[in-house]
Amino acid sequence: CTASPAGESARHRRRTMQGKDSAQDLSKLSIEDNFGHRFFIAPHRHTKTLYLVRHGEGYHNLHGEPSLGGDRANYKSEKYFDAHLTPKGWAQCRALKKHLDRAVTHDGCEHVMDRIELVAVSPLMRALETAVGSLGGDDKSCDPPASRLDSALMLSRTAIEGVRPAHAAIGTRNEGIHEQPGRKSLRFLACELCREHVGENPCDRRRRTSEYAAAFPGVDFSEITDEEDAAWGTMIETNDQMCERAHRFMEWVMRRPETHIAVVTHSAFMAAMLREFGATDQLGCHESVKQETHRWPNNCEMRPVVVIDPSGGGGLDPMFFPGGRTGLDDFNEAENV
């Protein structure tokens, strides 16, 4: 908006006067003169857009989280080993899916879901269920035949009281919201680097990879190299160790060809990532940006963020055009008069 001359601040008048002399002495400009803004520009190929998603409510949350009426001692219970989503957790997934089905860009021309090229998901039950329930296709009336199992992200399951609710099979999401002939299916890829904190809680111990692959035939588990959980029970991960794992995960992300990636993960790992990389003091971020970035995530919250890698780890950018002589093979310089 445009301020009237009467309402013009002293700072604005000072900046206007200094602007006239900026060509003569740029060194006189200070942070105050720039209104405290700090910008960082990098080539687009060194950036990624991540859609960070915390899993929906699991049975371990319901019975272990004091804010939900639970007892933290239940986090140690084998009953909640690799916990499933609760009925509320599945409802949270449906709410996120409905939101994504309707979410469009500011000009209304593009659905947000059509931007996402990959879903990277922690290989724990509640994260896998959240990924397929919120980013996958619609529920199916029955499981597909054995010859077409990969047409379902998740097969149907019956209820086990206090452990998991019944749920229909979930189909793949091949073409986004609008039909886009020739577009590849949205890939779901399990990645152990974004699993939850490795410690003593059975809810954070994963199952055999083959069990997941049988239950989620449309999810790619090729990057999970160990059949058994090789990490749980061997250590209690410190915050520094989890941050180091977050570094390795970010390096894995930046090496990938996709630009827009959904990451379905867990609260402690997500919080460690955001503390380690997001709105740090070194960047001079405003306090409100720090609070927004470092806030503990809710169940099934999706938080879009942009990652910039100034170390030069990016891939090719299809939008980049070098100019100069590029595309001028047929141009005769002698005619350039």
Of 45, 40, 50, the closest CA to residue 273 belongs to 50
Which residue of the set 129, 192, 196, 237 is catalytic? Answer: 196
Q: What is the rounded CA–CA span in Å between residue 300 and residue 163?
A: 19
- In angstroms, how far is the first alpha carbon of the chain from the final one? 45
Which residue do the tokens 């963020």 mark? 305
Q: Are strands 152-154 and 47-54 parallel, antiparallel or unpaired?
A: unpaired
Residue 161 is a catalytic residue: no
As to burial, measured by CB atoms within 10 angstroms (0-12 exposed, 13-18 middle, 19+ buried), residue 69 is: exposed
Of the residues 55, 60, 63, 266, only one is catalytic, namely 55
Mode of pairing for the β-strands spanning 47-54 and 260-265: parallel
Query: Is 55 labeled as catalytic in the residue annotation?
Result: yes
Helix (H, G, I), strand (E, B) or coil at 145: coil
- Distance between CA atoms of 315 and 44, rounded to whole angstroms? 10
Sorted by sequence, the CB contacts under 8 Å of residue 1 that are 6+ apart come out as: none
**Rounded CA separation 283/260 (Å):** 24
C-alpha–C-alpha distance, residues 183 and 233, integer Å: 42
Contact call for residues 188 and 119 (beta carbons, < 8 A): yes
- List CB contacts of 310: < 8 A, sequence separation 6 or more: 40, 42, 46
Bridge partners (DSSP) of residue 160 are 164
Extract the tokens encoding 46.
Answer: 């060194």
Are the beta carbons of 235 and 153 closer than 8 angstroms?
A: no
Question: Is the separation of the CB atoms in 304 and 49 below 8 Å?
Answer: yes
Q: Provide the annotated active-site residues.
A: 55, 196
